[in-house]
C-alpha cells in the first residue's frame, strides 16, 4: 500500500499550489502556455469522447460541477469513503464525475464491483499515469503503479512465486521468532504497543525479503532510508497534484529552467528511491558472493538470475530488486494498520475476546502458543480476522484502477482513461448487508458462511492484493498468540472506569485507526512466564 496523506493535506497542498501557480504565472509566463495546453487537452478530450460515443450514451449519474474544473471543488475532503456512500443515495452505486479534465468513476455496489472489476477485468486493470512519482522520483519499481501490461505481469509472476498460498509456510519460522520477541516487548512495555506492532511487521518483512535484521533503534539505517523515501513520495503519490501529472511533456524540461522546482525536488527524491531499491539488494548480492547470505526471497531471486551474458539478465535483475522494495512498501504498514484495528476492536468487545480465549484454552492449552496448524480448531479467531478487515479499511479506495478501453455499462458510457475507484468501505458498511456495521462484532462471521466476506478490502480483479495470503497468515499467528497470553482492555479514566473507545480512522490513501490506547495485561502468571521463556 501507500504512505499516509490525508485529503485535508491534499486540499491544503492544492490550495497552496494554486497560489503558487498564480504567482508563478506572473514570473514565468510559459505557465500561461502550459495552461493553454491543459485547456486544449480538455477540449480535444471532449471532442474525442463525442466521436467515440456516437449514440450519445450518458455518463453514469454524478455531480457535474463547473466548466473545465468540473466537480473538483466537490470532492469530499474528510472521510471521502463515507461521503461517497451518502452521494449514492442521490446518484446510485455508480458515480461519475469530471475534475480538472480527468474522468472519475466511483464504484460502490457488490454487483457493480463484480461486473466491472471482475467480469471486465481485461479493461479495468490499468493504473492512471503518475509521471511525477514514477518517472521523476523513480517509483517505477512499484508494481502497484505499473501500467497493466507485460512488465507488470512479469513482476506479478515473480511476486506470486514467493507469496502464493502454497509456499508462504516457509516464512513461518521467521514470523514465529519475531512474534515471540514482540510478546516479550508487550509484556515489558505494553504502552508502546503501537511501535511494537509497526516494528514487528517491518522486521518480518526485512528478514523474509533480504535476510536483514533491523534493530529497535529509531536510527536503524534501513528504516531511515525507508522513512525518507516514504516522505518523498507522500505528496507525489496522489495522482494529479503536480502540473507534470497533467502535462507529462513537462518532465523533459531541464531542472535549471525557471519554475522547474519540481524537477529539482525529484532529483533529490530519486537518490533516496535508488537507495531504497538498490542498497538492500546490493547487500544481499554481496553476502551471496561472500557465502554468508541468510535465506531470503531476494537471495533466491538473485540465485535464479540468468547467466551474466544472457540478454534478459539486466531486466531480470531489475525485477528482482523491484520485488524486494515493493514488499516492504506495500506490506508492512498495511498489515500493521489491520493489526492495530484488531487490538482496538478487541478492547471494545471483551465478549468476543473471551470467546476466542476459551477456544484457544480448550484446543491449545496453557503450555504453548497457537500456531497456524491449529487454525481449523480456532474458528472464532478466524471470525475476528474477518471482522477486523470488514470493520476497518486499510485502503478504503484500494489503488485507483483505470479503464484501458471505452466501455458501455447499463446504458452508460465509460470512456477509456477513466480513473476507477472501488469504495470497499461503502460495501462493507452497508446496513442492508451488515447489522450495525460500525460495531466490531466477530459473531457475524462465526459459523456463518453467508455473511459477505471482506475480500474487497484487498482490492479488485487482476490487481487484487497479491500479498493477502501472507498478510492473513501473519495476522492469524499474531492475533492468536496475543490472545493466548494477554487481555486487551480499554484504558481507565480518573475514577477507574473503562473509557469509551472509537475507531475514528485517519484520512489518506492508507488509513489507520485514530490514536488510541489500550491496556495489555498478561492473562495470568503462567501466561507471563510462557512469554518470558519464549523471548529468552
Q: Which is nearer to ligand HEM, 321 or 399 (CB)?
A: 399
CA distance readout (Å), 404 to 115, 139, 414, 415, 472? 16, 22, 11, 9, 31
Residues written for the chain: 536
Shortest distance, position 408 Cβ to ligand HEM, whole Å? 22
Binding to ligand HEM, residues 376-435 (CB under 6 A)? 394-395, 398-399
Binding to ligand HEM, residues 234-293 (CB under 6 A)? none
Q: Which is nearer to ligand HEM, 273 or 335 (CB)?
A: 335
Q: Which stretch binds ligand HEM (CB under 6 A): 236-244, 352-360, 446-454, 461-469?
A: 461-469
Choosing from 138, 240, 459, 508, the residue that interacts with ligand HEM (CB under 6 A) is 459
Name residue, grid cell 480465549: 357
Q: Which stretch binds ligand HEM (CB under 6 A): 76-84, 133-141, 182-190, 452-460?
A: 452-460
465 marked as part of a ligand binding site: yes
Choosing from 144, 269, 280, 454, the residue that interacts with ligand HEM (CB under 6 A) is 144
Strand ranges in 325-477 using DSSP code E only, listed in sequence order: 401-402, 407-409, 412-414, 419-422
Angle (nearest 5°) at CA 27 between 264 and 72? 75
10 Å CB burial of residue 245 (0-12, 13-18, 19+) is: buried
3 state SS of 207? helix
Q: Which is nearer to ligand HEM, 325 or 488 (CB)?
A: 325
Shortest distance, position 143 Cβ to ligand HEM, whole Å? 5
Interface map 94-133 toward ligand HEM (x if CB under 6 A): ----------------------------------------
Phi (first) and psi of residue 133, to 5 degrees: -75, -50
CA distance readout (Å), 492 to 60, 340, 370, 471, 495? 50, 19, 30, 32, 8
Shortest distance, position 326 Cβ to ligand HEM, whole Å? 5
Shortest distance, position 491 Cβ to ligand HEM, whole Å? 25
Shortest distance, position 168 Cβ to ligand HEM, whole Å? 9
> Helix, strand, coil: what percent of the chain each, to 5?
60, 5, 35
Instruction: Locate 532 and state its grid cell.
Output: 518470558
Q: Which is nearer to ligand HEM, 147 or 234 (CB)?
A: 147
- Chain centroid to CA 74: how far? 25
Does the protein bind ligand HEM through residue 457 (CB under 6 A)?
A: yes
Distance CA 36, CA 197 (A): 50
Distance CA 255, CA 140 (A): 20
Does the protein bind ligand HEM through residue 156 (CB under 6 A)?
A: yes
Instruction: Locate 417 and state its grid cell.
Output: 482513461
Residues 6 or more apart whose CB falls under 8 angstroms from that of 99 comprise: 65, 69, 70, 71, 72, 75
Q: Which is nearer to ligand HEM, 258 or 514 (CB)?
A: 514
Distance CA 422, CA 120 (A): 14
Helices in 213-260 by DSSP H: which ranges? 221-236, 243-246
CA distance readout (Å), 118 to 28, 121, 305, 459? 47, 5, 34, 11
Residues 6 or more apart whose CB falls under 8 angstroms from that of 180 comprise: 369, 531, 534, 535
Interface map 464-503 toward ligand HEM (x if CB under 6 A): xxxx--xx--------------------------------
Interface map 304-343 toward ligand HEM (x if CB under 6 A): ----------------------xx--xx--xx--x-----
Shortest distance, position 48 Cβ to ligand HEM, whole Å? 26
Shortest distance, position 394 Cβ to ligand HEM, whole Å? 4
Q: Which is nearer to ligand HEM, 237 or 459 (CB)?
A: 459
Binding to ligand HEM, residues 502-531 (CB under 6 A)? none
Torsion 254-257-262-268 (CA) sign: positive
Shortest distance, position 294 Cβ to ligand HEM, whole Å? 18
Does the protein bind ligand HEM through residue 345 (CB under 6 A)?
A: no
Please give the full DSSP string across 494-533, using - where no structure is assigned.
TTSPBPP----PPPSSS--PPS---EEEESSHHHHHHHHH
Choosing from 71, 94, 143, 344, the residue that interacts with ligand HEM (CB under 6 A) is 143
If we measure between CA atoms, which residue out of 484, 478, 497, 468 comes closest to residue 524? 484
Shortest distance, position 460 Cβ to ligand HEM, whole Å? 4
Q: How many residues in the shown chain lie near ligand HEM by CB under 6 A?
A: 28
Q: Which stretch binds ligand HEM (CB under 6 A): 274-282, 287-295, 314-322, 460-468?
A: 460-468
Choosing from 458, 476, 486, 512, the residue that interacts with ligand HEM (CB under 6 A) is 458
Q: Which is nearer to ligand HEM, 273 or 334 (CB)?
A: 334
Choosing from 235, 444, 463, 473, the residue that interacts with ligand HEM (CB under 6 A) is 463
Name residue, grid cell 478530450: 45
Shortest distance, position 420 Cβ to ligand HEM, whole Å? 10
Distance CA 375, CA 527 (A): 20
Q: Which is nearer to ligand HEM, 394 or 482 (CB)?
A: 394
3 state SS of 414? strand
Residue set of the binding site for heme: 465
- What are the residues binding ligand HEM (CB under 6 A)? 1, 143-144, 156, 159, 163, 326-327, 330-331, 334-335, 338, 394-395, 398-399, 457-460, 463-467, 470-471
Residue set of the binding site: 465
Amino acid at each position: 500500500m501507500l504512505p499516509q496523506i490525508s485529503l485535508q493535506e491534499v486540499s491544503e497542498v492544492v490550495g497552496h499550489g494554486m497560489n503558487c501557480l498564480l504567482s508563478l504565472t506572473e514570473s514565468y509566463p510559459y505557465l500561461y502556455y502550459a495552461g493553454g495546453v491543459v485547456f486544449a487537452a480538455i477540449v480535444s478530450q471532449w471532442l474525442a469522447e463525442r466521436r467515440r460515443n456516437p449514440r450519445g450514451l450518458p455518463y453514469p449519474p454524478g455531480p457535474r460541477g463547473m466548466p473545465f474544473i468540473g466537480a473538483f471543488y466537490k470532492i469530499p475532503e474528510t472521510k471521502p469513503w463515507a461521503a461517497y456512500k451518502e452521494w449514492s443515495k442521490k446518484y446510485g452505486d455508480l458515480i461519475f464525475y469530471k475534475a480538472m479534465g480527468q474522468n472519475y468513476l466511483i464504484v460502490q455496489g457488490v454487483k457493480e464491483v463484480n461486473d466491472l472489476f471482475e467480469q471486465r477485468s481485461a479493461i479495468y486493470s490499468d493504473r492512471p499515469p503518475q509521471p511525477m512519482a514514477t518517472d521523476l522520483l523513480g517509483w517505477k519499481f512499484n508494481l502497484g503503479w505499473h501500467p497493466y501490461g507485460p512488465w507488470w505481469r512479469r513482476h506479478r509472476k515473480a511476486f506470486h512465486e514467493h507469496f502464493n498460498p502454497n509456499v508462504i509456510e516457509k516464512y513461518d519460522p521467521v514470523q514465529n521468532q519475531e512474534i515471540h520477541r514482540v510478546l516479550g516487548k508487550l509484556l515489558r512495555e505494553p504502552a508502546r504497543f503501537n511501535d511494537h506492532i509497526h516494528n514487528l511487521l517491518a522486521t518480518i518483512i526485512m528478514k523474509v525479503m533480504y535476510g536483514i535484521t533491523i534493530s529497535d533503534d529509531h536510527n536503524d539505517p534501513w528504516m531511515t532510508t525507508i522513512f525518507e523515501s516514504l516522505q518523498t513520495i507522500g505528496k507525489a503519490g496522489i495522482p494529479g497534484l503536480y502540473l507534470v501529472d497533467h502535462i507529462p511533456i513537462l518532465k523533459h524540461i531541464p531542472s535549471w529552467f525557471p519554475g522547474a522546482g519540481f524537477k529539482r525536488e525529484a532529483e533529490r527524491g530519486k537518490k533516496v528511491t535508488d537507495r531504497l531499491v538498490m542498497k538492500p539488494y546490493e547487500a544481499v548480492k554481496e553476502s551471496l558472493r561472500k557465502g554468508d547470505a541468510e535465506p531470503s526471497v531476494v537471495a533466491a531471486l538473485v540465485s535464479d538470475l540468468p547467466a551474466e551474458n544472457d540478454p534478459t539478465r539486466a531486466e531480470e535483475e531489475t525485477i528482482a530488486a523491484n520485488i524486494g522494495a515493493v514488499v516492504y512498501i506495500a506490506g508492512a504498514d498495511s498489515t500493521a494498520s489491520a493489526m492495530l484495528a484488531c487490538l482496538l476492536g478487541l478492547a471494545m468487545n471483551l465478549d468476543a475476546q473471551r470467546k476466542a480465549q476459551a477456544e484457544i484454552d480448550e484446543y491449545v492449552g496453557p503450555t504453548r502458543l497457537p500456531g497456524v496448524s491449529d487454525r481449523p480448531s480456532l474458528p472464532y479467531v478466524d471470525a475476528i480476522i474477518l471482522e477486523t478487515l470488514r470493520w476497518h479499511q486499510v485502503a478504503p479506495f484500494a489503488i485507483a484502477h483505470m479503464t484501458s478501453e471505452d466501455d458501455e455499462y447499463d446504458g452508460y458510457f465509460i470512456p477509456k482513461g477513466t480513473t476507477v475507484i472501488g469504495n470497499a468501505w461503502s460495501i462493507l458498511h452497508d446496513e442492508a448487508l451488515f447489522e450495525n456495521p460500525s460495531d466490531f462484532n466477530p459473531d457475524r462471521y462465526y459459523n456463518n458462511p453467508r455473511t459477505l466476506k471482506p475480500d474487497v478490502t484487498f482490492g479488485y480483479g487482476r490487481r487484487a492484493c497479491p500479498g493477502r495470503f501472507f498478510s492473513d497468515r501473519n495476522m492469524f499467528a499474531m492475533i492468536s498468540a496475543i490472545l493466548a497470553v494477554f487481555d486487551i482492555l480499554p484504558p481507565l479514566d480518573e475514577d477507574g472506569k473503562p473509557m469509551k473507545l472509537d475507531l475514528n480512522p485517519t484520512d489518506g490513501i492508507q488509513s489507520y485507526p485514530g490514536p488510541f490506547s489500550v491496556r495489555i495485561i498478561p492473562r495470568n502468571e503462567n501466561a507471563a512466564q510462557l512469554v518470558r521463556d519464549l523471548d529468552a
